[in-house]
Every structure is written in C-alpha cells, then in structure tokens.
C-alpha cells in the first residue's frame, strides 16, 4: 500500500507522497489508529483494508489499550487519561480490602493476613497506568504506599496528559534529569529519574534504581545523564521521522561538576573512579549533529557546495 515502517518504532507506519506525509498508521496487534489531515486519504485506506480483511470500524478514536482520548478542536487540544481503567482497578481492590490509611501490617495477625493479599498484582495494575499516562505514580514501593496511591487515584480519576498544538522553532523536546544519591536504604544505591516533554507535555519518563552503587554524586549524575541521552537519541529520531523539526535536544542538569567534566577533558583524582564507558555522553556532545543552517554556513566557509 506504499507505507514505510518507522525505523524507530516498528508499530508506526507512514504514507508519503512527493516527500510529504499523508497519513500515519499505528498498529498494535489487531488495533489500528489512523491519523491524517485529509479525510479522503483515510477513507481510501479503510476501503483497501476492508477489501483484504474483516475489520470493525469504531469511528473517531476515543479509547485504545485502556487509554481514554478526548479532543477539544476549538482549543486544538488532545487529552489522554485512563479514567475508566483506573476506576476498575480501584473498585476491584475495594471488593477485597478496605483502603485503610494504616502503613502496612503491625501485629502478627495483620502480617498473616497480608500473605493472602495480592500486592504484586495490585502494584502491577497501577504500574500500567503509570506507564501510559500517570507519571505521578512511579514510586509505589510497599503496601502502605499502595493504599495511599489507591486513595489518591480514586480522588484524581480524571487526571491525565494534555497536549496542545504549538508552533516551534526546532526545539520541541526538552529533557530534565535528577537523582537521589544513595536513596535506597537497603542497598545504598542511588535512585534516578528523567522526564522528556514535547511542546511542554510529558511524553517519556522513568524512575529507577541505579544498577551500580555510585561512589559520588558526580558519578550518580553521570549514570542518570547517560540513560537520558540514550532515550533522547531515540525520541529525537522518532519525532524527526514523524515530520516534526527538532534540533539537538536541550538537557537541563543542575550538577556543575558533571557539566565541567563534559566541557573540559581534564584528569582529576576525584573523578578517576568513574568508568570509561560512562564518558559515552562526552562523545555524544562532541559529535552532535549540527543544525542545517549552521552546517551550511560551515560548508560555505570552506567553499564546499553542490553543483
């Protein structure tokens, strides 16, 4: 049918004509989303698919994979939430256990009773919400916290991500990183997290325990930035392939020691314990691609041009 599979996400297909994008097709197992500014293009594709397969048309997208989609065309906004899914999760827990605010079991009787409570399945149900639209749920760590989260979810069912149409100058993505040095009480490993925004709305987030115990705050921040840079490279490649102009991704980091190390290749006793592989981010900074106009300016300076 003339579609090209996206190099950065195998579930995304793009239909182009004369180098212009006509239609996006998002495929997950047997669920399909179509997006185009031209309705006749969508109708032609639906006719072709209906000829080859037995399909069920559900009209304008309102829900997919447990996520609710609502649009406000006058304000040019799209809102993504999981109100229906989260409501089912809360109601399911209510059927088996009261949402007490007590922080976990205290007596032996309460501890024995806890063995029959499906903590993992409940945390897993909440985790799906966190992965899709609720980045405010990334730190559920015990039964007490789980109960607080469920009560919080019940009072914030309609919360979600609001996307607005905005004009931009090639700086659509921004990235924020931070860490909690030796924040894990048992292992003394550091917790790190990052957030990526597209036109001011979060599109990618993560909060996780670092695999190695960092010997300094500088090393801990190194690890955070590396994970974020890898994600930034993927996100930039994806949105550029989707037709959104993007220069080099802006990174916000509040560690002056790390910024100094990235900019100045100096040897220092306080940083020599940092593994060589962690200097990956320095290589990325030094070899970053130039914006088009700056690249063309450099070519003009050396007298290099097309015939």
Average pLDDT per block of 10 residues along the chain, 307 residues long: 86 84 87 86 86 84 87 87 87 61 61 63 80 77 72 84 76 77 70 83 82 71 77 87 80 70 60 55 61 70 63
Residues 228 and 183 in one domain: yes
In a domain, 64, yes or no: no
In a domain, 152, yes or no: yes
Q: What pLDDT score does 51 carry?
A: 85
Give Cα separations from 20 to 8, 14, 30, 242, 285 (angstroms).
19, 10, 27, 11, 31
CA distance 295 to 281: 22
Task: Return all residues near 158 (Cβ < 8 A) that are at least 6 apart.
Answer: 81, 83
Residues 181 and 271 in one domain: yes
Residues 47 and 86 in one domain: no
The domain boundary residue, chosen from 102, 133, 161: 161
The domain boundary residue, chosen from 133, 161, 189: 161
Read off the pTM: 0.69
Residues 249 and 278 in one domain: yes
Residues 230 and 284 in one domain: yes
In a domain, 187, yes or no: yes
In a domain, 186, yes or no: yes
Residues 203 and 97 in one domain: no
Q: What is the CATH number of the domain that holds 238?
A: 3.30.420.10
In a domain, 70, yes or no: no
Domain region containing 137: 80-161
Q: What pLDDT score does 19 carry?
A: 73
**Total number of domains constituting the chain:** 3
Residues 172 and 293 in one domain: yes
In a domain, 67, yes or no: no
Residues 108 and 189 in one domain: no
Could you tell me the end-to-end alpha-carbon distance of the chain, in angstroms, rounded to an integer?
Answer: 36
Residues 193 and 295 in one domain: yes
Which residues partner with 169 through β-bridges?
none
Q: What pLDDT score does 131 carry?
A: 83
Residues 178 and 258 in one domain: yes
Which residues partner with 191 through β-bridges?
180, 209
In a domain, 74, yes or no: no
C-alpha torsion 227→230→233→238, nearest 10: -90
In a domain, 116, yes or no: yes
Residues 145 and 244 in one domain: no
**Other CB atoms closer than 10 Å to residue 82's CB: what's the count?**
24
The domain boundary residue, chosen from 141, 161, 181: 161
Residues 103 and 193 in one domain: no
Q: What pLDDT score does 270 carry?
A: 55
Q: What pLDDT score does 289 carry?
A: 65
């Amino acid at each position: 049918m003339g579609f090209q599979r996206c190099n950065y996400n195998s579930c995304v297909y793009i239909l182009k004509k004369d180098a212009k994008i006509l239609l996006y097709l998002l495929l997950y197992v047997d669920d399909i989303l179509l997006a185009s500014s031209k309705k006749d293009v969508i109708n032609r594709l639906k006719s072709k698919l209906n000829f080859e397969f037995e399909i069920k048309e559900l009209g304008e997208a309102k829900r997919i994979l447990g996520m609710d989609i609502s649009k406000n065309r006058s304000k040019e906004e799209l809102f993504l939430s999981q109100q229906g899914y989260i409501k089912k999760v809360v109601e399911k827990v209510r059927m088996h256990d009261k949402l007490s605010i007590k922080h976990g079991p205290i007596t032996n009787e309460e501890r024995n009773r806890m063995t029959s409570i499906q903590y993992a399945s409940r945390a897993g149900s909440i985790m799906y919400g966190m992965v899709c639209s609720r980045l405010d749920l990334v730190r559920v760590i015990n039964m007490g916290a789980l109960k607080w989260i469920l009560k919080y979810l019940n009072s914030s069912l309609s919360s979600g991500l609001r996307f607005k149409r905005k004009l931009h100058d090639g700086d659509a993505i921004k990235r924020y990183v931070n860490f909690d040095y030796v924040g894990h009480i048992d292992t003394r490993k550091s917790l790190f997290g990052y957030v990526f925004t597209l036109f001011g709305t979060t599109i990618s987030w993560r909060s996780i325990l670092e695999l190695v115990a960092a010997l300094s705050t500088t090393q801990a921040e190194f690890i955070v930035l590396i994970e974020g840079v890898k994600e930034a490279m993927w996100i930039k490649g994806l949105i550029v392939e989707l037709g959104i102009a993007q220069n080099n991704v802006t990174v916000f980091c509040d560690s002056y020691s790390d910024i100094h190390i990235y900019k100045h290749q100096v040897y220092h006793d306080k940083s020599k314990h940092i593994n060589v592989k962690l200097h990956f981010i320095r290589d990325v900074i030094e070899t970053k691609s130039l914006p088009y106009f700056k690249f063309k300016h450099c070519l003009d300076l050396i007298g290099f041009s097309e015939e």
